[in-house]
Amino acid sequence: MNILTKALTTAAMAAALFAAPANAADDVRIALVVKALGIGFFEAAAKGAEEAAEELGNVEIIYTGPTDTTAEGQIEVINSLIAQRVDAIAISSNDTDALVPALKRAMQRGITVISWDSGVAPEGRQLHLNPSSNALIGNMIVKLAADHLPDGGDVALLSATTTSTNQNIWMEEMNKVLGDYPGINVVATVYGDDLADKSYREATGLMQSYPDLDAIIAPTSVGIVAAAQAVVDAGKVGQVNVTGLGLPSEMAGAIESGASKSFAIWNPIDLGYSATMLAYELSQNGIEAEEGAEIPMGRMGTLTLDDKNEGAMADPFIYDASNIDDFKSVF
C-alpha cells in the first residue's frame, strides 16, 4: 500500500507540476474558504480576494464555506473543492486539528493549501498568514495614542484580566518600544476583566485618579467600548482619547461622539487580498514555503516565514472618522 500509494502520488504530483504551465492559459481557481458564510468580516475578505484576482488577471475566486461555523461543514466544503480540482485553497479554519486530514488529502492531489486569520496545524497547510504580529500590535497601540499627543502626555492601559495571555504579551511588546515615543508616560495599568461594568468603573477611576490623563489604551474590544462610554458620561470627550483594539461596528458610536479619535484592528480586505496573492505565488510561481522564505503579496509587500511557516501580514489597520462608515457594517 505504502510504496504503491507514494509512487502513484508522486507520479500524480509530478504530472500536476508538468501540467501546470500548460494550464496557465486557463483561469487559476483559488478557493477562499471561510468559517461560515454570511459573516461581514469574511465578505470583506472576499472583496479583497476579488481585488487580487483582478490584479493578477487570470484568477477565478471561489468564495465558499459552511453555513455555520463547524469543522464538519468545512471538511465537506474541502472535499467538494478537491473533487472540483481547484488550484489552491486558502482557509480560515474552525478547528486547528480536525481539518488536517482533509487538507492533507488536498495537498496530496497537488492543491496548494494555506491558512489565514485562524490557523491550521502545520502539517495541514503550507503556510499560515497571521493578520499581524504581537510586536506590531504592541507598537501600534502606543502609536495610536502618541499620534494625537505631539507634546507627549499621560496614558493609562485598560486591559482584560490579569491572566489574559495575549493582552499581557501586547503590553510587554508595547513597553519594549515605549522609548521610541518620548514624552509618553504610562501612568497606570488597570484590569476590566472584559466585563462592560467593571471596565467602565475602572475607566472612571482612572479619570479620577489622574485628572490630567490624556489617553486610555484598551487593547480589548469590551474594554475600549466601555471606556469610551465612561469618557462620554464623565464629560471628558476631547480631553481623554480612548484608543486601542476594537471592531468598527462596535466602535462607530465612540468615533461619532469623539470619545475615540482612532483605533486599530486588522483590515479584512487586505487579509483576503494577501491570502489570494500568497496562494497564487505558491501554486503558480513555484515558490517553496519554508523558513526564511520571502513571498511577495502585491501591494501588501512581502511575507517572511518563521520556523513554523507562519508570517505576519502588516501593522493593524487604523480606523477613524474618515473610514469608519465604510467598515461599520462590515464587521
Residues near another protein, by CB under 8 A: 162, 189-191, 194-198, 200-202, 204-206, 208-209, 225-226, 229, 233, 249-250, 252-254, 256, 328
- The residue (of 33 and 227) whose beta carbon lies closer to another protein is 227
Distance CA 66, CA 43 (A): 13
Measured in Å, how far apart are the chain's first and last C-alpha atoms?
A: 48
Computed from CA positions of residues 224, 227, 233, 239, in that sequence, does the dihedral angle turn out positive or negative? negative
- The residue (of 204 and 284) whose beta carbon lies closer to another protein is 204
Cell numbers 488529502 correspond to 105
Cell numbers 489552491 correspond to 88
Please spell the DSSP secondary structure of 34-100, one letter per residue: -SSTT-HHHHHHHHHHHHHHHHHSSEEEEEE--SSS-HHHHHHHHHHHHHTT-SEEEE--S-TTTTH
- The residue (of 122 and 253) whose beta carbon lies closer to another protein is 253
- The residue (of 182 and 211) whose beta carbon lies closer to another protein is 211
Could you tell me the smallest distance in angstroms from the CB atom of residue 200 to another protein? 6
Question: How distant is the alpha carbon of residue 213 from its chain centre?
Answer: 31
Could you tell me the smallest distance in angstroms from the CB atom of residue 216 to another protein? 13
The SS3 assignment for 29 reads: strand
Could you tell me the smallest distance in angstroms from the CB atom of residue 183 to another protein? 23
Could you tell me the smallest distance in angstroms from the CB atom of residue 185 to another protein? 16
Question: How distant is the alpha carbon of residue 80 from its chain centre?
Answer: 26
Q: Answer for the pair 36, 67: CB distance below 8 angstroms, yes or no.
A: yes
